[in-house]
Structure 1
Amino acid sequence: MFPVRHSFSYSYLLTGIPVGFKGSVGGLISIDEVNDNAWLSRRAWFTIHGDDYLARGHHPDGLQGKLRDYLQSQGVDHKQFSQAYLFTAAKFLGYASNPVSIWYLYTASNELKALVLEVNNTFDERHSYFLEPSSNSLAKPSSSTTSSTRFTSKWPKDFYVSTFNDRSGCYSLSLIDPFAPVLTGTGYINTNITLSGPSNTKAMIVTLLQSTSRPLNPASMSLLEKLRFLLSWWWVGFATFPRTLQQAFILFFRKKMPWAFRPEPRRKTISRPADDTEKLIEQQFRAFLKARVEQCQEPLIVRYQGAGLIGKENASALFISRSIMDRSQPEVEILVLTPVFYSNLALYASLGEAFMSESSESQTLFLSDNSITSKLDLETSTCPNSSKFPFRQGSPARYLLTLLAYLRKSPRSVSVGGVSDFKTSQPLVSKLSELDIYVLHHASLANFKKYAWKLIRLMMIDHVAFRSNTLWELEVLTVRTIIAWLILRGTFG
């Protein structure tokens, strides 16, 4: 990493709000009000809404409910915090680029007790750190009411943020309580976050977040002041991502910084949202898994958690085999870490191979017990004879099956003695996965066609577009343009 040195600074707009407040302030900032997609009908220029923070999805109690649920997930009693404040980049007309938000948690005596550092990367992934002060932090200020309170903390890095740093290293934070003493401060921000290497002996990245002017209260601003403020700050959120790209360009091309490829997220990281294809595969996979567990001959309890889903769809599911007698036996956890798992799943002809490869190599899946594949009979294919398929020879659905089997190629090729494991006496059946067969026999014809077409499209992207949806769309556009040009040329000469 060293001796490469680089520094930059730019303006950034942070909004500080009391968590639990709902409404509009001065026509500038709206907090936890009902979302309206039409920007012309918005009550304020800047908006902060609970749907955009912590766990994905909607919470009826907004930011306060999101924070309460997060603390509960960390094993922290939310009742010990009587007040909370959030410093974040508010959306302007529905858009925001928000690298980090800081939640300040205060006790009943108005003392800063803990922080939640919510970090977003440019891949639409999110990770939150619950921070308590180090042992020598938050010393009582002197008797002067102008004294400040410093909060310091240190914790291991667990989230991929920069394309030039992997997940190794350790963060240290030092900040001044913006509302000290006892929530009477003016809100000035002075925060230092340092990333050190694995040895913790040398600082790699130092980030300073400091106020450069006095905080503004929208409720007390005149119309002229509001207009001046909007003209000065409306563009800042739109510039955050281009500024990031600019600095990345300088570091990579001019200063020759090595690139750190993005790993798949870990268990406590919120993955990117699933796309429509991944959601469809997830629905079928969830139903298949439920059926397999219920039919299992061994006593089995499985806790399944999907990835990239929002709201009720993201709730964990408990599947119990019919043969179970003791409900108190330990659960086997199947935790999908990223929606990429569903895309990869479609490429395997064997779900047993998919489970093993994705949990050990690709790390898109977590299994608390690897023997789950044998318990669910996933190690050997259970595909029926092709004569038992519910579609007659020559039907469109039959052709879809053939195309699906032809295109299928596992992400990790497996061969024994130089002979591909796909080479069997029944090529159509051998390349259909257990999930395909389940959908084939349990979904309606329309739903099966939708499933098959989605998988075929996914496999085409894997074959000709290096698994890039953007490149695929560009290729499709190019082909359509060429066809249109040929038609026009043939028509008009």
Structure 2
Amino acid sequence: MCKDGMALWYILSPVLLSLLGRLVLERRVALALAENLLLIACTQYAELSWVKVVVIATIFVASAFLQTQLEYLESVQDTYSHAGSLQCEAKSSRASGCPAHTSRDQKRDSSYRTPREVQAPNVNGNPQAEKSFHGRVALFPCDLRHLRRSGFKDNYHHSYLYAGYPVGLRACYSPLITVEPPFRSGFLLPIKKAWFSIRPEDHAFNGGANLSMTQKLEEFLLSEGEDPAEWPYAYLLAPPSVTWQLNNPLSFWYLYNTRRELTAMIVQLQTSYGERRLWLTRNCRTEAPGTGPYCFQGKFDKDLQVSPFTPIEASYVIDSSDPCAAPLDKLKIMVTLKRGRATVMNAVVNSTGPPLDAASASLGSSMLFLVKWWWVPMCSVVVFRILFKAAKIYLTHNGRELNIQTRAEPNRKAIAKSARLSERALEKYFFMILSSMVQSQSRIKSVKYVTPGEHCPRTRVMQSHKQYSSEKDPHPPDEEKNKEALQQVVFTVNTPTFYSRFFHYKSPFAAMQSELLDDERTRTIPRVSLWIGDGG
């Protein structure tokens, strides 16, 4: 018994030490090397069986994926996510923009409340008390079931945890969950009052840690051409993050009108590749309320690669119950993937028990809930489940049944993954090259350069140092539209992987010719070659 205990300690100690080191230090490479050395050491001194070898290998693989996830999570501390380095364009007079860390951050910290303050707000001193909310902070223990109906047959299910809260509320329900905690840059120590958390930087647009969830919601609605005043109430249902790590495949924003009726939803999907996509859909359900478990139905087209086993050209149908409806005792969501009229796959979320109300839960019930569900939304657990199931599908079905889809680049409406450290460094050199080309030519008056992956695209306008000459334009003089297009070119980078690929081409022109995603590339490339050069 003693030997087994020592062997278990040899296995767990390197993981605990590496986790603690990752949260305190910033040099990830050194930590990964130290972790590997510790894992090798534990295999030398512990009396191992095949079971222990499998456990060590599993820990090693999970730690490797955790290392990759943490590299993407650097975007929270990246300079692009700080509002002082962002240059936003105002979309309208209602747009919130990206203000710097000024008095608004102090106001945000002052409006961060304890559960007692949430239940009995101070109207005179708290600006948040002036706004009413719809719904309550609750944790929904669920069961997620996947059922594939065409192509190949497969089904599986596992436990899942959703947390819901009224968008705009900022509060801490210790020891369960904290919603919209105040942003503290450079704070790395794992000291917090609640195990679960819902942070604005994990949802909607990447980065923007200084922005509230309400501001991000308004920004998205404005980008869709909608009026945020149509939905004064919103309720977010999403997996909570643990230790500032989150792998968030699917979240739901429920939008309510002034009569608190559920009229629209925002479906937020995040792929395993790191891209994120938000769809706004209105309620198209024709049945009367109360005729079934669902009260909302939305439809939208699928335009993002989610899995290599599912087609891109398809559509989604989502049926959902109202998480804020009284009595709140059942959550049921069904997402159906369709290709034409055929159903490809169903994903069903069913609550396995009554939700835990964070505001009224006792300390004993909160601790009991944490004992049962503390591990479910952990990033390593979610990634392991996805990879394990993908490997099982790949190994148990032949290639003709699977019809594996090659990965396609995300479209313009998708939110690109966060840039790696190497891609951030290469972006600086690419900007220097692009700026030098623009300044040394006279065919294009200015170039508007937009980088990907953050809340507000970092926009920079580069002007030509030479006098703009439309007479040198080789096109006929009657093409006024083309001349106007040459006066300013908008150069938008959709994904940060462009920077790592750009430097592998022989010339900038070859890179542009291969990387342009515009359907009108045949008309754009000749004009770009005027100031990039014909491969020279």
TM-score normalized by structure 1? 0.68
**CA contact under 8 A between 1:340 and 1:364: conserved in structure 2?**
no
Equivalent pairs counted in the alignment come to: 366
**Alignment check: 8 A CA contact 1:152 1:172 kept:** yes
Instruction: Verify the 8 A CA contact 1:17 1:87 in the aligned structure 2.
Output: yes
Decide which of 373, 385, 410 is 2:528's aligned counterpart: 373
Instruction: Confirm or deny that 1:11 pairs with 2:151.
Output: no
The letter for the 1-side match of 2:406 is F
Change (3 A) 1:213 1:368: farther
Distance 1:97 1:10 in 2: 16
The reply on whether 1:212 has 2:352 as its aligned counterpart is: yes
Partner Cα distance (2:383, 2:532) in 1? 47
The answer for the alignment partner of 1:283 in structure 2 is 428
Q: Residue 384 of structure 2 aligns with which residue?
A: 242
> In 1, are the aligned partners of 2:222 and 2:228 still within 8 Å (CA)?
yes
Structure 1, residues 269-315: CA drift from partner, whole Å, max 9, x if none?
1222222222122112223323332433134343322234x467x41
Question: Are the equivalent residues in 2 in contact too, given 1:337–1:365 (CA < 8 A)?
Answer: no
1:347-388 alpha-carbon deviations (Å, 9 max, x no partner):
12211111001126xx8998983234223132242xxxxxxx
Q: Which string of whole-angstrom CA distances, capped at 9 and with x for unpartnered residues, describes residues 50-84 of structure 1?
A: 01111111253321111111111111111111010
- Higher RCO, 1 or 2 (CA under 8 Å, sep at least 6)? 2
| Structure 1: distance between partners of 2:262 and 2:327 | 12
In structure 2, relative to structure 1, the CA distance for the partners of 1:158 and 1:40 (3 Å cut) is: same
Match of 1:14, SS state, is strand
Q: For 1:364 and 1:234, how far apart are their aligned partners in 2?
A: 47
The one-letter amino acid of 2:342's match is K
Preserved contact between residue 442 and residue 469 of structure 2 (Cα < 8 Å): no
| Match 1:103 to one of 242, 248, 253 | 253
Structure 1 residue 240: Cα displacement: 2.1
What's the counterpart of residue 239 of structure 2?
A: 89
Residue range with higher mean Cα deviation, 266-275 or 293-302: 293-302
Mapping for residues 87-486 of structure 1, pairs under 5 Å: 87-134=237-284, 137=285, 141=289, 150-180=295-325, 184-186=326-328, 188-197=330-339, 200-238=340-378, 239-256=381-398, 257-308=402-453, 310=454, 314-322=457-465, 323-324=467-468, 329-330=484-485, 331-359=488-516, 369-381=524-536
Identify unmatched segments of 5+ residues in structure 2: 1-148, 471-482
Opposite residue 532 of structure 2, the aligned amino acid is D
Aligned to 1:62: 212
| Equivalent-residue separation in structure 2 for 1:317 and 1:159 (angstroms) | 28
1:430 aligns with: none
| Change in CA separation of 1:244 and 1:59 when aligned onto 2, cut-off 3 Å | closer
Q: 170, 174, 178: which one pairs with 1:30?
A: 178
| 1:49 equivalenced with 2:199 (yes/no) | yes
In the TM superposition, residue 17 of structure 1 has moved relative to its aligned partner by 0.6
Change in 2 beyond 3 A, CA 1:368/1:72: farther
**SS of equivalent residue, structure 1 residue 303:** strand
Partner of 2:229: 79
Distance 1:359 1:141, change over 3 A: same
Alpha-carbon offset, residue 13 of structure 1 = 0.5
What displacement does 1:111 show?
A: 1.1
RMSD over aligned Cα atoms: 2.8
For structure 1, the residue ranges without an aligned partner over 5 or more in a row are: 382-493
Separation in structure 2 between the aligned mates of residue 59 and residue 365 of structure 1, nearest angstrom: 36
Q: Which has the larger radius of gyration?
A: 1
Amino acid at match of 1:351: P
Flag the 1:17–1:23 CA change in 2: closer, same or farther, 3 A.
same
Residues 268 and 286 of structure 1: is their aligned pair in 2 closer, same or farther, counting only changes over 3 Å? same
Change (3 A) 1:366 1:299: closer
- 1:15 Cα offset (Å): 0.3
CA apart distance, 1:39: 5.3
Residue identity opposite 1:125 in structure 2: E
Instruction: Please tell me whether the aligned partners of residues 150 and 345 of structure 2 are also in contact (alpha carbons under 8 angstroms).
Output: no
What SS class does the counterpart of residue 237 from structure 1 fall into? coil
CA distance in 1, matches of 2:515, 2:519: 5
Q: Distance in 1 between matches of 2:278 and 2:422?
A: 28
- 8 Å CA contact 2:265, 2:281 repeated in 1: yes
**Contact kept? 2:303, 2:312, Cα under 8 Å:** yes
TM-score, reference length from structure 2: 0.63
Instruction: State the percentage of identical aligned residues.
Output: 27
Contact 2:282/2:298, CA 8 A, preserved across alignment: yes
